[in-house]
Amino acid sequence: MENRLPYFLVAIGVALFLAYSSIFVVNEREQALVLRFGQIQDVKAEPGLYFKLPFAFMDADRVQYVEDRALRFDLPDIRVQVRGGAFYEVDAFAVYRITDARRFRETVSADREAAESRLRTRLDAALRRVYGLRNFDAALSEERGSMMSDVRDDLQAAAESLGLQVTDVRIRRTDLTQEVSQQTFERMKAERLAEAELIRARGNEEGQRRRAIADRQVVELQAEAQRDSEILRGEGDAQRNSIFADAFQRDPAFFEFYRSMRAYVASLSNQGTTMVLSPDSDFFRFFNSGVGTGGAGRAAPAPAPAPAAPPVAVGN
């Protein structure tokens, strides 16, 4: 019995090894390909515990796992040309899933890098085609979503041939190239300058309109003030004339004397005034009379006739 114990332990070990080699587990993020001598025997897409033939070291049955979740690859810094000749620098990425693990194994040996390399080439071509059909500003407008849908549809056929499905294509960055950026800056600068000139012209027009209104109001106010002043001046002159008339009616002699004195002051007070008058002129009648000494109400006696005298120059 004791001699059989080592054989029994060896048999148990071999059985455990065969059982371990025959069991494999598939989780929810994976798919499993069961290969026998390099040929696909089965595809396990659901998570769980599965069995296969042992002796994987003899290439009898072995398991190759592939991803069963959304995967992504990037396409950085490509230069695309839009309709009209302008260029963009674009960073893009695509999201895909392995939907047919069998075909994925048969086409690229379940190598993700090889599959992504093929898809990256097709994505580059699809982006260039879609951008080339659009105008300069399409990638920066609401049309961008439809552009990405077109790129995804172009990429779908190539993906299906590899057992893949492209679920989304997105643009991370769309920048203008240096020369296009300068052209765009100059165009935007010209547009802003034109807009500023338009606003300035409208402001000048509004300013001229308001100045014209103000000038018209000034003229109207001045005219009204001039009219009122003329009315008041006329009323004052009328009152003055009324007062003069009343004074003349009360004492005509004194009024005449007063008017003459005012005339003397107005005529002789200015410097540089020269008057050529006859001594017996009516202008000097109060210089030759006694009205100033005897009272304003009595007339002076008539002087004796005298020969005509030459004119006298009176000056200041």
Question: For 38-48, what is each residue's pLDDT tens digit?
Answer: 788 888 888 88
* pTM for this prediction: 0.53
Give the amino acid at 5. Answer: L
Question: For 110-163, what is each residue's pLDDT tens digit?
Answer: 899 999 999 999 999 999 999 888 887 777 778 888 888 999 999 999 999 999
Tokens 């590899």 -> residue: 162
Res 304: pLDDT: 42
Question: For 267-314, what is each residue's pLDDT tens digit?
Answer: 766 666 676 767 666 666 666 655 444 444 444 444 444 444 444 444
Strand order in the sheet with 62-67: 39-44, 30-36, 62-67
Tokens 């300069």 -> residue: 136
**Residue 194 clears pLDDT 90, i.e. is over it:** yes
Question: For 211-262, what is each residue's pLDDT tens digit?
Answer: 999 999 999 999 999 999 999 999 999 998 888 788 778 877 777 777 777 7
Res 125: pLDDT: 92
* Of 273, 267, 271, 275, the residue nearest 313 (C-alpha): 275
Res 295: pLDDT: 43
Average pLDDT, the chain: 80
Question: Apex CA 126: angle with CA 177 and CA 102, to 5°?
Answer: 135
Res 113: pLDDT: 92
Residue 205 pLDDT class (50, 70, 90 cuts): very high
Q: Pick the more confident residue, 184 or 299.
A: 184
**Residue 95 clears pLDDT 90, i.e. is over it:** yes
**Residue 18 clears pLDDT 80, i.e. is over it:** no
**Dmax over Cα atoms in the chain, in whole Å?**
199
CB atoms within 10 A of CB 96: 24
DSSP string, the chain: -TTTHHHHHHHHHHHHHHHHHHEEEE-TTEEEEEEETTEEEEEE-S-EEEE--S-GGGTSSEEEEEE-S-EEEEEEEEEEE-TTS-EEEEEEEEEEEE--HHHHHHHHTT-HHHHHHHHHHHHHHHHHHHHHTS-TTGGGSTTHHHHHHHHHHHHHHHHHTTTEEEEEEEEEEEEE-HHHHHHHHHHHHHHHHHHHHHHHHHHHHHHHHHHHHHHHHHHHHHHHHHHHHHHHHHHHHHHHHHHHHHHHHH-HHHHHHHHHHHHHHHHHSSTT-EEEE-TT-GGGTTTSSSHHHH-TTSPPPPPPP-PPPPPEEEE-
